[in-house]
Amino acid sequence: MKPFAYVRAGSVAEAARLLGKGSAALAGGTDLIGLMKGGLAAPARLVDLTGIDGLRGWTRERGAGLRIGALTPLVELEESEGLARHLPIVREALADAATLQLRVMGTLGGNLLQRNRCWYFRDQAVPCWLKGGTRCFAVDGENAHHAIVGTDGGCNRVSPSDLAPALIAHDARVSLASARAARTIPLAELFTDPALHRREEHTIRPGEIVTQVVIPDSALQRRGTYVKAMDRKAWSFALVSVAAAARVRDGKLRDTRIVLGGVAPVPWRVEAAEREVDGQPYSDAVAARAADVLLADAHPLKDNGYKIPLAKELVRRALARLAAA
Amino acid sequence: MPRATPVLGPAAVDVTLDVNGHARAIHIRPQRTLLDALREDLGLMGAKKVCDEGTCGACTVLVDGRPVYACMTLAVATAGRAVETVEGLAHDGGLHPVQEAFIAHDAFQCGFCTPGQIMSVVALLRARPDVTADDVKRAVTGNLCRCGAYPNIVAAALAAAKRKK
Ligand SMILES: Cc1cc2nc3c(=O)[nH]c(=O)nc-3n(C[C@H](O)[C@H](O)[C@H](O)COP(=O)(O)OP(=O)(O)OC[C@H]3O[C@@H](n4cnc5c(N)ncnc54)[C@H](O)[C@@H]3O)c2cc1C
Ligand code: FES
Ligand code: FES
């Protein structure tokens, strides 16, 4: 790691002021410290957000939705019985995310802003497109873990976060604050649309801090579930994951959301797929139609074609589980 | 006006860590990990450095009672928090019950992962003395054992839990 200065911010305003050019926000450090050790990030100053009061924990107020502070450690989200009652999908999504140590250290904001795990991107010596190079080395390299859909040319990384699909399935919004302004956007828009061909994964602006995630009241009416396939039983990023949520009555799903992790550079959602399911009595055939729409534009690479049948089966399992509940 | 927070470094700064209940003053640059501070500045070799990137668990220590990877933690960021390492477990010349159970159940071969495994089990049993084999397995999921001592690690943890009750 290159030398850097370290400062522990006492408030959002102070952190925003300290986050000048060349600085980076530090939460649990589980991704950032790894990037710095690997030579992929070299901030001159780290602004530690973990001491800021008021960005930790969650609240539920009728009319204001469910608010989760960005600095809440993942383990607190996982262990909270109250949160599991309001939003059970969070516990399901965290059950197989990383390890206990990483969930003790890692935070909600950091999980959403973690960078991708493409082995070419993570290797400092490889000048891949995302790092300013001319091409994606995964295209004709080792690509078993890479994207099957939504890549639009540039980069074949996949979105690694287990929480992002789960929260997007409940219409999560994310609040950001800088020294000058505050804004709240749909969580899906925190992830850079690959079609824009920008060499960045997130739309957070320099100097901004993620302060909270908000689930609107209407989305808390949905029941959600999360299924994840890994190449071993533990401590592994998703090969494919599926977050599904819907209001369920008489075996019919309504207001359905289906969001996939591990298949595209961003959490992958196709609204037309949800319309295949809405209002229909659940059947495996309905699930298969939704999965076909989700993956209609899939173009697998040499080693990742297995993700198509895997994703289809996980969509079926997730929707069947919702319908049976 | 609240007082502005001091910016530390990039040159070396004085930091006081609370390690195994003792205040330990060290002089380090902010990029020093907790693992390097423990091993190199404080001579505590219990936490091991294997992957140095959060993928093995050999460096597991407790911060405020919960297990973390010391290799991914900045030492400066732990000032004011309680750090516990395997060296802090023995008392009055006697080993901790979890350490004794590891010996009795042959819960290690090469021993490299052992300090980390023990810290994970200690944190689990403190939080919840009534544990099942599945609880133990979940608690040590973040501690790889290349020698495959897992069945004995689980047995040792369950025996230590029983003794505690
Ligand atoms: C071995 C390993 C396995 C893993 N497996 C999984 C897995 O299975 N599933 C999964 O979802 N994740 C997994 N992860 C990733 C892990 O969950 C993330 O690294 C973690 O959640 C990041 O949170 P953090 O608080 O440590 O972030 P940090 O590392 O502190 O920060 C990450 C990034 O976000 C920025 N940042 C953090 N918080 C804020 C904020 N509030 N405002 C503005 N910027 C901010 C930082 O500047 C940095 O760029 C794994 C990680 C490792 C090392
Ligand atoms: S040395 Fe820290 S996890 Fe491997
Ligand atoms: S005893 Fe050798 S790695 Fe676990």
CATH of residue B65's domain is 3.10.20.30
Q: What is the CA radius of gyration of chain B?
A: 17
Q: How many residues does chain A have?
A: 325
CA B52 to ligand 2: nearest atom = 1
Asked if residue B1 has pLDDT above 50, the reply is no
Interface ipTM: 0.96
Average confidence (pLDDT) over A155-162 = 97
Distance in Å, alpha carbon of B156 to nearest chain A alpha carbon:
20
- Output the average pLDDT for chain A: 96
Please indicate whether residue B54, judged by its CB atom, sits closer than 6 Å to ligand 2. Answer: yes
Q: Could you tell me the two tokens for A146?
A: 């890479």
Token pair 């990483």 is found at A102
pLDDT value, residue B27: 98
Report the DSSP beta bridge partners of residue B115: none
Give the span between the Cα atoms of B52 and A311, in whole angstroms.
33
Of the candidates B81, B66, B55, which has an alpha carbon nearest to the alpha carbon of residue B144? B55
Q: Is the pLDDT of residue A250 over 50?
A: yes
What gap in Å lies between CA A146 and CA A303, rounded to an integer? 9
Distance from CA of A53 to the nearest CA of B (A): 14
Boundaries of domain holding B39: 13-85
Cβ contact (<8 Å) for A101 and B10? no
pLDDT band per the 50, 70, 90 thresholds, residue A55: very high
For residue A98, pLDDT over 60 is answered with yes
Residue B2 has pLDDT above 80, yes or no: no
Q: Do B112 and B157 share a domain, yes or no?
A: yes
Compute CA distances A94 → A97, A98, A111, A161, B144, whole Å.
5, 8, 11, 10, 20
What percentage of residues in chain A have a pLDDT greater than 90? 95
Give CA–CA dist A298/A309, Å, rounded: 11
| CA geometry: angle A98, A90, B55, nearest 5 deg | 5
* Ligand 1 touching residue A19 (CB < 6 A): no
Nearest by CB to B142, from A8, A50, A101: name it.
A101
- B112 and B148, same structural domain? yes
Cα dihedral sign, A181-A187-A191-A192: negative
**Contact between A222 and A170 (Cβ < 8 Å):** yes
- Is B146 part of a structural domain of the chain? yes
Distance between CA atoms of residues A311 and A197, nearest Å:
25
Preceding omega of B10 cis (within 30 degrees of 0) = yes
Ordered DSSP codes for A27-50: SS-TTHHHHHHTTS---SEEEE-T
Q: CB B10 to CB A4 under 8 A? A: yes
- Positions of E strands within A70-180: 173-177
Domain A58-114+158-218 has CATH 3.30.70.3000: no
How many Å apart are CA B39 and CA A22, to the nearest integer? Answer: 30
Asked if pLDDT for residue B3 goes beyond 70, the answer is: no
Q: Classify residue B8: in a domain, yes or no.
A: no
For a mutational test of ligand 2's pocket, the pick from B56, B68, B113, B141, i.e. the residue with the most ligand atoms closer than 8 A to its C-beta, is B56
- Return the SS3 of A247: strand
B81 and B102 fall within a common domain = no
CATH topology of domain A1-52: 3.30.43
Hey, what are A3's tokens? 């030398």
Contact present, A277 and A296 (Cβ < 8 Å)? no
pLDDT, tens only, B32-89: 999 999 999 999 999 999 999 999 999 999 999 999 999 999 999 999 999 999 999 9
The pLDDT of residue A282 is above 90: yes
**Residue B63 covered by a domain:** yes
Q: Is B7 inside a domain boundary?
A: no
Q: CATH 3.30.465.10 region(s) of chain A?
A: 58-114+158-218
- Are A28 and B63 contacting, i.e. CB atoms less than 8 angstroms apart? no
Quick one: A81 exposed, middle or buried, by C-beta within 10 A (0-12, 13-18, 19+)? exposed
pLDDT at A17 over 90: yes
Tokens of B50: 């294997």
Residue B159 placed within a domain: yes
Do A100 and B52 count as a contact with CB atoms less than 8 A apart? Answer: no
Amino acid symbol at A159? S
CATH topology of domain A221-324: Enolase-like; domain 1 (3.30.390)
Of the candidates A109, A120, A108, A195, the residue with the CA atom closest to the CA atom of residue A157: A120
- Whether B139 and B102 map to the same domain: the answer is yes
Domain boundary at B42, B57, B85, which?
B85
What does pTM read for this prediction? Answer: 0.97
Residue whose structure tokens are 């799903």: A253
> CA of A127, closest CA in chain B: separation in Å?
22
**Cβ contacts of B40 within 8 Å, gap of 6 or more:** none
Q: How many helices (H) and strands (E) does chain A have?
A: 13, 11
Q: CATH 3.30.390.50 spans which residues of chain A? A: 221-324
The answer as to whether B45 is a domain residue is: yes
Domain boundary among B40, B56, B85: B85
| Ligand 2 center from residue B49 Cα (angstroms) | 6
Q: Is the pLDDT of residue A166 over 70?
A: yes
Q: Is residue B47 a part of any domain in this protein?
A: yes
